Structure 1
Amino acid sequence: MKKIVIYTDGACSGNPGPGGWGAVLLYGEHRKEISGAEKETTNQRMELTAVIEALKALKREGLDVTVYTDSAYIVNAFKENWIERWQQNGWKNSQKKEVANKDLWQELWHLMQKNRVKIEKVKGHAGDELNEYCDQLARNAILKLKQEK
């Protein structure tokens, strides 16, 4: 079984404000780096976008994928079963309001069905080399976006 490891991170310059995301995909000795930015967004959206874009970058389905993120928002959605409850409640949260970033959560859920995906927490800004690298990819994407103005 092919095992893929993905590290992701998102960043924002202001929240909301210009945002960036970065991801590193690892398979054996292969490594792929991807990143991007948006003019007006939030940190949460960039964290989600990083995972979504990384899963979109996979060329096959049926893979064992482990995603490492420092986003408690994403980790808790799966570890605490928020996402299942949101779906059962018509994408409403516990306050009966529409789930924030519903469009991205739905896209992420759809992409996750194509593979066996595990979401794991990594402590942010704590020296994890690949997490720090993804943070730099995200910040560089923001800088590039600002320079294009």
Structure 2
Amino acid sequence: MSKHVTIYTDGACSGNPGVGGYGTILSYGEHQKELSAGFRKTTNNRMEMMAAIVGLQALKQPCKVSLYSDSKYLVDAMKQGWAKRWKANGWRRNKKEMAKNPDLWQQLLELCDRHQVEFFWVKGHAGHPENERCDALAVAASRQDELLVDEEYENVFGNSTKPLFE
């Protein structure tokens, strides 16, 4: 039987898009590990997804995972099968709209193929201790001096600090 790990996640963004971060807590028995990072330009949804991805990537072997997030976007897309449907449709939500964040959905789906993941929604900012801790980690990470580059986001949507015309 595979090990059962609980992962708590949260993303934060100051402005949307703006400076962001994620916080993740992995819990297995008596062991806990906290992960976080900040990005100079991203979106809240991307940080919510990154928190889940990083948590799943940290697992060294296939595990049974209970993943808790306050992001309806993340939880519903996975529980309702939307992300799988978007992928099957060439990352289209419907005939007119492209799915957002296909790079992260792809990573998340691959990780869910490796692990047995069940997603749970928790109400954010409602006193859930691990959710509050993940939020604190995400906000603190977004306020660091050295921020990472969300390359996919910046490559697709551009860096607003660059002039529009030369």
- 5 Å-filtered alignment, 1:19-98, equals 19-61=20-62, 63-98=63-98
Residue aligned with 1:53, SS: helix
Q: Percent identity?
A: 50
Letter of the 1:32 partner, please give it.
Answer: K
Q: Does the Cα contact within 8 Å between 1:6 and 1:66 map onto a contact in 2? A: yes
- Once the two structures are superposed, residues 96-143 of structure 1 have per-residue CA deviations (whole angstroms, 9 ceiling, x without a partner) of 322100100001111111110111101100110000000000000011
Stretches of structure 1 lacking an aligned partner (at least 5 in a row): none
TM-score (norm 2): 0.84
Letter of the 2:73 partner, please give it.
Answer: Y
Q: Which segment drifts farther, 93-102 or 30-39?
A: 93-102
Q: Following superposition, which runs of at least 4 residues in structure 1 exceed 3 angstroms of deviation?
A: none
Cα separation, 1, equivalents of 2:15 and 2:95: 27
Residue aligned with 2:92, SS: coil
Q: Which segment drifts farther, 8-17 or 75-84?
A: 75-84
Residue aligned with 1:107, SS: helix
Q: Does the Cα contact within 8 Å between 2:9 and 2:24 map onto a contact in 1? A: yes
Letter of the 1:54 partner, please give it.
Answer: G
Which structure: larger Rg?
Answer: 2
Stretches of structure 2 lacking an aligned partner (at least 5 in a row): 148-166
The equivalent residue for 1:100 is 100
Q: Does the Cα contact within 8 Å between 2:38 and 2:143 map onto a contact in 1? A: no
The equivalent residue for 2:119 is 119
1:94, distance to aligned residue in structure 2 (A): 2.1
The equivalent residue for 2:15 is 14
